Chain A
Amino acid sequence: MSLDLGATRRDMLIVEDLKKYFPVRSGLLQRVTAWVKAVDGVSFTIREGETFGLVGESGCGKTTVGRTILRLLPANGGRVFFDGEDLFALGRGEMKSMRRNMQIVFQDPYSSLDPRMPVGETISEGMMIHGIGTAQERTETVADLLKTVGMNPYHARRYPHEFSGGQRQRIGIARALALRPRFIVCDEPVSALDVSVQSAVLNLLRGLQSQFGLTYLFIAHNLSVVEHISDRVGVMYLGKMVEVTTREAIFRNPLHPYTQALLSAIPMPDPKFKRQRIVLTGDVPSPLNPPSGCRFHPRCPRVMDICKTVDPAFEQKQSDHWVACHLYSASAAEQTAPSAP
Chain B
Amino acid sequence: MNNTAPPGSEPNILLDVKDLKTYFYTEDGVVQAVNGVDFAIREGQVMGLVGESGCGKSVTSLSIMRLLGGSGKIVEGEVWLRDRNLATLPEEEMVKLRGGALSMIFQQPTSCLNPIFRVGDQVAEVLIQHQGMTKEQAWNRAVEMLARVGIPDAGRRAKSFPHEISGGQAQRVMIAMALSCLPDLLIADEPTTALDVTIQAQILELMRRMQTEMGTTILLITHDLGVIAEMCDHVAVMYAGLIVEYTDVNTLFEDPLHPYTEGLMAAIPVLGDVRDSLAVIPGTVPDLINLPPGCKFAPRCPYAREVCSQEAPPLIEAKPGHKVRCWILHPQTSAQWAGYTKTDWRFTGEEVFAQPAAATGGTDVS
Q: Which residues of A contact B (CB under 8 A)?
A: 1, 57-58, 150-152, 154, 158, 162-164, 166-167, 194-204, 206, 221, 223-225, 227-228, 247, 251, 261-273, 277, 279-281, 283-284
Tell yes or no: B241 within 8 A of A by CB: no
Interface 9-residue window, one of B69-77, B112-120, B196-204, B303-311: B196-204
- CB neighbours of B132 from chain A (8 A): none
Contact between A227 and B271, CB atoms less than 8 A apart: yes
Kindly list 11 other residue pairs between chains A and B, CB separation below 8 angstroms, not including A150-B348, A269-B228: A167-B365, A194-B285, A196-B264, A199-B279, A202-B278, A223-B271, A225-B269, A227-B271, A228-B274, A263-B271, A280-B198
Contact between A268 and B280, CB atoms less than 8 A apart: no
Contact between B272 and A251, CB atoms less than 8 A apart: yes
Contact between B224 and A197, CB atoms less than 8 A apart: no
Q: A267-B224, A271-B253, A279-B201 are in contact. Are A203 and B348 (CB under 8 A)?
A: yes
Contact between A194 and B53, CB atoms less than 8 A apart: yes
A268 to B249, CA, bound (A): 13
- CB neighbours of A262 from chain B (8 A): 197-198
Tell yes or no: B41 within 8 A of A by CB: no
Tell yes or no: B182 within 8 A of A by CB: no
Task: For the complex formed, measure the closest distance between the CB of A243 and the CB atoms of chain B, giving whole angstroms.
Answer: 15
Task: For the complex formed, measure the closest distance between the CB of B51 and the CB atoms of chain A, giving whole angstroms.
Answer: 9
Q: A267-B229, A270-B253, A277-B201 are in contact. Are A195 and B267 (CB under 8 A)?
A: yes
Contact between B349 and A166, CB atoms less than 8 A apart: yes
- CB neighbours of B263 from chain A (8 A): 196
Contact between A150 and B200, CB atoms less than 8 A apart: no
**How many B residues are at the interface, by size bracket?**
35 or more
Contact between A270 and B348, CB atoms less than 8 A apart: no
Contact between B198 and A271, CB atoms less than 8 A apart: no
Contact between A271 and B249, CB atoms less than 8 A apart: yes
Task: For the complex formed, measure the closest distance between the CB of B165 and the CB atoms of chain A, giving whole angstroms.
Answer: 9
Q: Which residues of B contact A (CB under 8 A)?
A: 2, 52-53, 166, 168-169, 196-202, 204-205, 223-230, 249-250, 253, 263-265, 267-272, 274-281, 284-285, 347-350, 360-361, 365-366
Task: For the complex formed, measure the closest distance between the CB of B206 and the CB atoms of chain A, giving whole angstroms.
Answer: 10
Contact between A223 and B197, CB atoms less than 8 A apart: yes
- The 29 listed contacts between A and B (C-beta, < 8 Å) are A1-B276, A57-B199, A158-B365, A194-B223, A195-B52, A195-B264, A196-B52, A197-B284, A198-B267, A199-B267, A199-B269, A199-B281, A199-B349, A200-B350, A203-B277, A221-B196, A227-B269, A228-B274, A261-B198, A265-B201, A269-B229, A271-B2, A271-B249, A271-B250, A277-B201, A279-B202, A280-B198, A280-B201, A284-B196
Contact between B226 and A199, CB atoms less than 8 A apart: no
Task: For the complex formed, measure the closest distance between the CB of B288 and the CB atoms of chain A, giving whole angstroms.
Answer: 13
From the candidates A200, A267, A272, A277, name the one contacting B227 in the complex (CB within 8 A). A267
Task: For the complex formed, measure the closest distance between the CB of B322 and the CB atoms of chain A, giving whole angstroms.
Answer: 15
Contact between B199 and A283, CB atoms less than 8 A apart: yes
From the candidates B52, B166, B279, B360, name the one contacting A194 in the complex (CB within 8 A). B52
A283 to B279, CA, bound (A): 35
- CB neighbours of B228 from chain A (8 A): 269
- CB neighbours of B52 from chain A (8 A): 194-196
- CB neighbours of B196 from chain A (8 A): 57-58, 221, 284
A158 to B274, CA, bound (A): 37
- CB neighbours of B284 from chain A (8 A): 164, 166-167, 197
Smallest CB-CB A-B distances: 10 pairs: A200-B349, A267-B226, A199-B278, A228-B269, A265-B201, A57-B196, A196-B281, A194-B52, A269-B225, A199-B267
CB nearest to A273 among chain B residues: B229
- CB neighbours of B229 from chain A (8 A): 267-271, 273
Residue of A57, A194, A261 most packed against chain B (CB within 10 A):
A194
A78 to B226, CA, bound (A): 40
Residue of B52, B196, B275 most packed against chain A (CB within 10 A):
B196
Contact between A228 and B278, CB atoms less than 8 A apart: yes
- CB neighbours of A221 from chain B (8 A): 196-197
Contact between B268 and A269, CB atoms less than 8 A apart: yes
- CB neighbours of A277 from chain B (8 A): 201, 205
- CB neighbours of B169 from chain A (8 A): 283
A105 to B223, CA, bound (A): 24
- CB neighbours of B198 from chain A (8 A): 57, 261-262, 265, 279-280, 284
Contact between A269 and B265, CB atoms less than 8 A apart: yes
From the candidates B230, B249, B265, B268, name the one contacting A224 in the complex (CB within 8 A). B268
CB nearest to B366 among chain A residues: A164
Contact between B270 and A224, CB atoms less than 8 A apart: yes
Task: For the complex formed, measure the closest distance between the CB of A56 and the CB atoms of chain B, giving whole angstroms.
Answer: 9
A293 to B347, CA, bound (A): 50
CB nearest to A228 among chain B residues: B269
CB nearest to B365 among chain A residues: A162
- CB neighbours of A164 from chain B (8 A): 284, 365-366
- CB neighbours of A269 from chain B (8 A): 225-226, 228-229, 253, 265, 268, 270
Task: For the complex formed, measure the closest distance between the CB of A94 and the CB atoms of chain B, giving whole angstroms.
Answer: 39
Task: For the complex formed, measure the closest distance between the CB of B239 and the CB atoms of chain A, giving whole angstroms.
Answer: 10
Contact between B202 and A280, CB atoms less than 8 A apart: yes
From the candidates A154, A158, A200, name the one contacting B348 in the complex (CB within 8 A). A200
From the candidates B202, B267, B348, B365, name the one contacting A196 in the complex (CB within 8 A). B267
A58 to B199, CA, bound (A): 11
A193 to B229, CA, bound (A): 21
A228 to B277, CA, bound (A): 9
Residue of A198, A206, A228, A284 most packed against chain B (CB within 10 A):
A228
- CB neighbours of A273 from chain B (8 A): 229
- CB neighbours of A204 from chain B (8 A): 348-349
- CB neighbours of A272 from chain B (8 A): 250, 253
Task: For the complex formed, measure the closest distance between the CB of A163 and the CB atoms of chain B, giving whole angstroms.
Answer: 6
CB nearest to B55 among chain A residues: A194
Residue of A154, A196, A251, A268 most packed against chain B (CB within 10 A):
A196
Contact between A266 and B278, CB atoms less than 8 A apart: no
- CB neighbours of A203 from chain B (8 A): 277-278, 280, 348-349
Task: For the complex formed, measure the closest distance between the CB of B252 and the CB atoms of chain A, giving whole angstroms.
Answer: 8
A63 to B236, CA, bound (A): 36
- CB neighbours of A271 from chain B (8 A): 2, 229-230, 249-250, 253
A297 to B269, CA, bound (A): 31
Contact between A202 and B269, CB atoms less than 8 A apart: yes
